[in-house]
Amino acid sequence: MRLNNKRPAAQPTLPSIPSKVSRFGNATATVPVQRMGRLAGTTTATATASTTASTVTKRPLAARPLPRAATTAAASATATRTKPASGGASGGAASSAAPKRIAPYDFKARFHDLLDKHKVLKTKYEKQVEDMGELESLPTQLEETQTKLIETESSLKNVQTDNDCLNRQVKQQAKNIETITTSLGRAKEELSELQTNHKQIKMEHESLTAEVLQLRQRTEDLLRSNEQQAKDLETCKEQLFQSNMERKELHNLVMDLRGNIRVFCRIRPPLPSELDRNRCTYIYHDEATVELQSMDGQAKNKMGQQIFSFDQVFYPTSTQTDIFEMVSPLIQSALDGYNICIFAYGQTGSGKTYTMDGVPSELGVIPRTVDLLFDSIKGYRNLGWEYEIKATFLEIYNEVLYDLLSNEQKDMEIRMAKNNKNDIYVSNITEETVADPHHLRQLMLMARQNRATASTAGNERSSRSHAVTKLQLIGRHAEKQEVSVGSINLVDLAGSESPKTSIRMTETKSINRSLSELTNVILALLQKQDHIPYRNSKLTHLLMPSLGGNSKTLMFINVSPFQDCFQESVKSLRFAASVHSCKIPKAKRNRYMASSNTVPALNSSSSLGSNSNMSSSFDK
């Protein structure tokens, strides 16, 4: 009953012995074996450590002292090997001095005995872990020693190579010494001759010394004069630069006084093949006013007196040179950093393309602009300006944009610039940097050949599309750190035609619609409406900066002298009179300092009227 009612003794919970994870494979494998060997009193761990050490150290270390951990490990290994022998010799004594056996029912004594043994084993384990940590650094030291040995061998090879090179140089120098010795003999002979000549030269030197003193004095005088002239030259350069700036301001003032939208009327003469056609009467009151009279009395009474005033009226006898003399000031404004737009408007067969392009014997506005640009750029180099010209050629055919320098099908769109809501640019258009007039003429010829033309009732080769030639002028003054950016937009509009006489209805409708939208934009500007319908057609959207933005604009109104064109001529002249009445803000000069952060990044995505990336300008 007493045995059955006895409570079971609480069994002690011993802490587990943590395992040591080594960084090396062999050491990890030997740690548990070493712990078990020490607990059982065997030499298994020592033998494994010896084998690992012999495997790792394939090459002996050169007189390098072992660390304390290695010395301790060796001492422990020696003690382990000798432990069985000493234990056998004293076996009797140990058995005689064995502790008193603990009774099986004395759990408390057995617990304390096991706890003491656990403390002893834990102390031995911690000692072994410490020794093992110190031994882990041995492979690293071995690798460092091997690396240094390899570096030493490489250095030795380099030294041997340098030594071979030096030996070769010594041999070469020995040969040079022999050559020099031979030359020395000849030099001694020449020396004697030179000494004789030296005496003669010495005498001449004395006479020249006196002359040199005189020349030195004269040189000092010339240097002082040169410094004064250099100062005067810098003053003249600054005065010339300031004079050029004043010239630009005065030129722009004159152009502003003439108007930022100017209209020139040109009445073309009949061709030799058209002498038998009936012509209406044009009466020129002065160089800016023209009166149109019909030969048909009924139409004359119905429409009344037709008198129109413009900025300039050119007679049929006016030449291409006379025309360009009035246009050239605008080209000068473009070189000064302003945006210029020149476009021709009129009935088909009225001479728009002839005015803009001309013929080889009578060049038009566009080729003469090219010649004037490059001639002016040569003169501007003397003022310190360097110009770069970029050209693009665009066509609007049936309300679709086409790149005249590329035959590829592109998705081209007119987009608004991010920095300025009044600026636009055309995406995916080809932009060519022009180096000389010949290159630009080749591009113009390619664009002219790619342009859409067809025969109509009024013209054998009528332009059936709107063509836009854009020249961007980027001038840089290195000394003043100034950048000037101007642009010239030359627009040849398609000829308007009555649907009654048209044989190409689709083209005629697109052309007349775009020209009608242009008329609506002009009327909206005249009436100062809040909304201007620029986006109703690609043409008006493209001309938006020129009609209501930062640009100086010139429009040619071309009319035919024939009676059968009287109605269309009156419509064209009335439209031109409306344009002449428009007032747009003054154009601003695109001028920047090259060192500032406001210089625009000029690329192919430039606007028609002004550059899309320009964030600041100086109004001159």
Count Cβ atoms below 10 Å from residue 458 Cβ, excluding itself: 21
- pLDDT value of residue 264: 94
Is domain 262-593 classified as CATH 3.40.50.300? no
Region 457-463: mean pLDDT is 47
Cβ 540 vs Cβ 518: under 8 Å = yes
Query: Whole-model pTM above 0.75?
Result: no
Region 366-372: mean pLDDT is 90
Q: Which amino acid is at 433?
A: T
Cβ 490 vs Cβ 437: under 8 Å = no
- pLDDT value of residue 79: 42
Cβ 97 vs Cβ 86: under 8 Å = no
Residues 6+ apart with CB under 8 A from 99: none
Region 579-595: mean pLDDT is 68
More confident residue, 210 or 501: 210
Of all residues in the chain, what percent carry a pLDDT higher than 90?
21
- Residues 341 and 466: their CA atoms lie apart, in Å, by 14
Report pLDDT digits (tens) over 93-124: 444 455 678 888 888 888 998 999 999 999 99
Judge whether 58 is annotated as a binding position: no
- pLDDT value of residue 168: 93
Region 332-337: mean pLDDT is 86
Burial (0-12, 13-18, 19+ Cβ within 10 Å), 392: buried
Region 279-301: mean pLDDT is 81
Report pLDDT digits (tens) over 28-74: 333 343 333 343 333 333 333 333 333 333 444 333 444 444 444 44
Count Cβ atoms below 10 Å from residue 389 Cβ, excluding itself: 21
Name the most confidently modeled range: 80-89, 538-547, 603-612. 538-547
| Residue 609 scores a pLDDT above 60 | no
Name the most confidently modeled range: 93-102, 312-321, 574-583. 312-321
Residue 393 banded pLDDT, cuts 50, 70, 90: very high
CA 37 vs CA 40, 77, 81, 132, 580: distances in Å: 5, 12, 12, 15, 112
Please state the φ and ψ torsions of residue 408, each to the nearest 5 degrees.
-80, 150
| Residue 360 scores a pLDDT above 90 | no
| Residue 85 scores a pLDDT above 70 | no
- Residues 619 and 425: their CA atoms lie apart, in Å, by 22
Judge whether 349 is annotated as a binding position: yes
Of all residues in the chain, what percent carry a pLDDT higher than 70?
72
| Residue 586 scores a pLDDT above 80 | no
Judge whether 181 is annotated as a binding position: no
Lowest model confidence (mean pLDDT) among 76-80, 384-388, 459-463, 521-525: 76-80
Exposed e or buried b per residue across 71-87, where buried means at least 16 C-beta atoms within 10 angstroms of its C-beta: ebbeebbeebeeeeeee
Report pLDDT digits (tens) over 428-445: 999 999 988 899 989 988
The owner of tokens 């810098």 is 234
- The three-class DSSP label of residue 433 is strand
Region 541-554: mean pLDDT is 79
Which runs of E-coded beta strand occur in 479-533?
482-492
Judge whether 351 is annotated as a binding position: yes
The owner of tokens 């009156």 is 570
Q: Quote the Cα angle for 597-599-603, to 5°.
A: 130
